[in-house]
Amino acid sequence: MPDEVTIVEVGPWEGLQCEHRYIPVEKKIELIKKISETGVKKIVATSFAHPKSLPQFVDSEQVMNALNSSSSVIYLAAVPNEIACRRALASRVKEVLIWVSTSETHNMRTLGVPVASTMKEIQLIAKICKENNVRIRSMIATAFGCAYEGETPIAAVRELVLKLNKLGCQEVCLTDTHGMANPKEVRERISHLKRELPHVTFSVHFHDAKGMGIANGFAAFEEGVRIFDSAVGGIGTAPDMPGGSRDIPTEALVFMFEKMGVSTGIDLDKLSACTDLAEKIIGRRLERSNSVGRATKDRDVVTNPLEELPV
Amino acid sequence: MPDEVTIVEVGPWEGLQCEHRYIPVEKKIELIKKISETGVKKIVATSFAHPKSLPQFVDSEQVMNALNSSSSVIYLAAVPNEIACRRALASRVKEVLIWVSTSETHNMRTLGVPVASTMKEIQLIAKICKENNVRIRSMIATAFGCAYEGETPIAAVRELVLKLNKLGCQEVCLTDTHGMANPKEVRERISHLKRELPHVTFSVHFHDAKGMGIANGFAAFEEGVRIFDSAVGGIGTAPDMPGGSRDIPTEALVFMFEKMGVSTGIDLDKLSACTDLAEKIIGRRLERSNSVGRATKDRDVVTNPLEELPV
């Protein structure tokens, strides 16, 4: 049986979150619907963060309401706190995304509260999600280092994984928020955490620092991870880190897996059309690495170098 | 003892080879000298291909003559045939680069002759290099697939490795000419070849198809490879494949290895200045993936989302 992975498309959330200009709600919906046609199984569609924190997501209800609930795609929404979670549930969200940072500085800068407060919020979220039969996907930010606080001890990651798991989070996504992971470390951390906490499902979220995101993804895959975050066209970065490393482009991740004979269920051509649309919507060219170019006749002019040489 | 790798900088050869516009010889020399100051140990500085085939390298003698032979850097020159090799030796080249393809079509398109003729040339080159105490670095093109002929059987690679090794090539560089390798296959091929041919030193040359080059490099490293080709700024691609995948950027490879605690001996800041210079010389912006961005004060406006929510 061929190996399979699940790609979680985070572009409509983490990508659009970085845009200072408001993207009209119909454009967001158009992009999400187009991504839904690629074969991707999960899309983080919006955030229910307070619009004062993230004005881009003032339209989260409208976005969720527009998405066909009968679709085979699961649409997640990011919920930074209990009230956001209640709003998400009111919009019939089936799976919420929560996160907490190993770094107090990063937690304060992105959630506005200390780690302990976030954990209390998550406790409340876990309770109402259980009552409403809504799945929680949890993420640990700065799991491979923090731009503010430096190295992240693996013990700090393990402790958070344990806490989240005890609160009912079956899946924990190890997030390289600031693009600091390297594939050797990825291998070591995941191998260690899986050995210590074999009952947890680990997923990964890498940023593409100097093109290392794909290598990190490969290392995680080899350690048995089968759920990967990425963003169409690589849009997005850590919102507190402008000019930081982009998200892994979904097309790069899909390209690698399909080349390795690992099924993603995603159509690369359709995905490429989504990148075109994302470019149009955000009004900026996205970096694209070519796969294989077209053979050309130009070089047929090559003369036989053995026959006529200058010396 | 910390692990070490050798980076072979191929930008001045494979990168400039792709430029249709002639780059003045003094610019080439300036770039090579600047790269020489980064700590890199080997640079492929030019090609002694016939100028009718590669007009860019009409100045190969001048380039080699300008490079300080007392430098700690080894300057290689590409030699597609015996006469080119004699010219290289006359310019006091200490190490020549030869190559042959697993694919007849690719060999014909880039060397202008069938594989069997190239092997005869390599035999002549090996003889004169031995007489002159010049090292040969050999490359096998299309070792991971060919855009014209499709999959490359590993048996075809093994056969060429054996032949090259018998002719005196101690190092064989497995080259992913058309950006078709994936890290799983890299691991399998290298592991197989090293097991079958333990006396050969394998190096690798990857192109960066959809950002997979670094992942391929990581897989090769884990299989014990310690010599890696890359090009400053990722300049260059297969010359017969315009719009094909670029070379792995040297800065990306160095960034990964240094992050992994593997010493390259190369200064990343100095390398970055070389990319600036390469951009200037070729007159085109090069894609750059950020490592870690700068933290910003922008997001300090984040209000406490727990205190004031709309619902």
Shortest distance between the Cα of B111 and any Cα of chain A, in A, equals 7
* Contacting B residues, span 44-83, partner chain A, CB-CB under 8 Å: 49-53, 80-81, 83
Facing residue for B113 by CB, picked from A208, A210, A306: A306
Task: Name the H helices within B152-239.
Answer: 154-166, 183-196, 213-222
Quick one: A6-292 is in which CATH superfamily? Aldolase class I (3.20.20.70)
Q: What is the mean pLDDT of residues B95-120?
A: 96
User: Which chain A residues touch B298 with a CB distance below 8 Å?
Assistant: 242
Q: Does B88 lie at the interface with A, CB-CB under 8 angstroms?
A: no
Instruction: Name the more confident of B288 and B43.
Output: B43
Cross-strand bridge partners of residue B75: B43
Nearest residue of chain B to residue A86 (CA atoms): B311
pLDDT at residue B50, rounded to an integer: 92
Structure tokens at B48: 């002694």
pLDDT at residue A53, rounded to an integer: 87
Shortest distance between the Cα of B253 and any Cα of chain A, in A, equals 8
Q: Do A306 and B245 touch (CB under 8 A)?
A: no
- ∠ CA B218-A252-A195, nearest 5°, is 55
Q: What is the mean pLDDT of residues B114-131?
A: 97
> B41: buried, middle or exposed (CB in 10 Å: 19+, 13-18, 0-12)?
middle
Q: A9: which DSSP letter?
A: E
Strands B227-230, A171-175: pairing kind:
unpaired
**What is the number of CB-based contacts under 8 A between chain A and chain B?**
254
> B88: buried, middle or exposed (CB in 10 Å: 19+, 13-18, 0-12)?
buried
Structure tokens at B205: 């040359």
The pTM is what? Answer: 0.91
Q: Does A149 lie at the interface with B, CB-CB under 8 angstroms?
A: no
pLDDT in tens, A263-275: 999 999 999 999 9
Facing residue for A214 by CB, picked from B52, B211, B311: B211
* Contacting B residues, span 110-139, partner chain A, CB-CB under 8 Å: 110-113, 117, 121
Q: Does A182 lie at the interface with B, CB-CB under 8 angstroms?
A: yes
Residue B299 has pLDDT above 50, yes or no: no
Shortest distance between the Cα of B104 and any Cα of chain A, in A, equals 14
Say how far apart CA A62 and CA B162 lie, in whole Å.
65
* Contacting B residues, span 250-309, partner chain A, CB-CB under 8 Å: 251-252, 255-256, 259-261, 287, 289-296, 298-300, 302-306, 308-309
pLDDT at residue B311, rounded to an integer: 33
Mutate to test the interface with B, among A61, A119, A289 (most CBs of B within 10 A): A289
Task: Name the H helices within chain B.
Answer: 16-17, 25-36, 60-66, 82-90, 104-111, 115-131, 154-166, 183-196, 213-222, 250-259, 268-282
User: Which chain B residues touch A219 with a CB distance below 8 Å?
Assistant: 218
Q: Do A252 and B299 touch (CB under 8 A)?
A: no
The parts of chain A modelled with pLDDT lower than 70 are: 1-2, 69-70, 242-243, 289-311
Q: Does B2 lie at the interface with A, CB-CB under 8 angstroms?
A: no
Q: Do A289 and B208 touch (CB under 8 A)?
A: yes
Residue B205 has pLDDT above 90, yes or no: yes
pLDDT at residue B53, rounded to an integer: 87
Facing residue for B308 by CB, picked from A50, A210, A294: A50
CB A284 within 8 A of CB A19: no
Instruction: Name the more confident of B299 and B39.
Output: B39
CB B288 within 8 A of CB A63: no
Dihedrals φ, ψ of A288, to 5°?
Answer: -130, 130
What number of other Cβ atoms are within 10 A of residue B263's Cβ? 14
Q: Do A296 and B242 touch (CB under 8 A)?
A: yes
Nearest residue of chain B to residue A251 (CA atoms): B210
Mutate to test the interface with A, among B230, B309, B311 (most CBs of A within 10 A): B309
ipTM of this predicted complex? Answer: 0.89
For B241-281, the DSSP string reads STT-PPBPBHHHHHHHHHHTT-B----HHHHHHHHHHHHHH
Nearest residue of chain B to residue A184 (CA atoms): B260
pLDDT at residue B288, rounded to an integer: 73
CB B44 within 8 A of CB B10: yes
Facing residue for A293 by CB, picked from B111, B113, B241: B241
Say how far apart CA B208 and CA B214 lie, in whole Å.
7
Strands B135-141, B171-175: pairing kind:
parallel
Place of tokens 């040489």: A309
As a whole number, the mean pLDDT across chain B is 90
Facing residue for B305 by CB, picked from A50, A294, A300: A50
Say how far apart CA A92 and CA A71 lie, in whole Å.
13
Q: What is the mean pLDDT of residues B171-179?
A: 95
Shortest distance between the Cα of A22 and any Cα of chain B, in A, equals 16
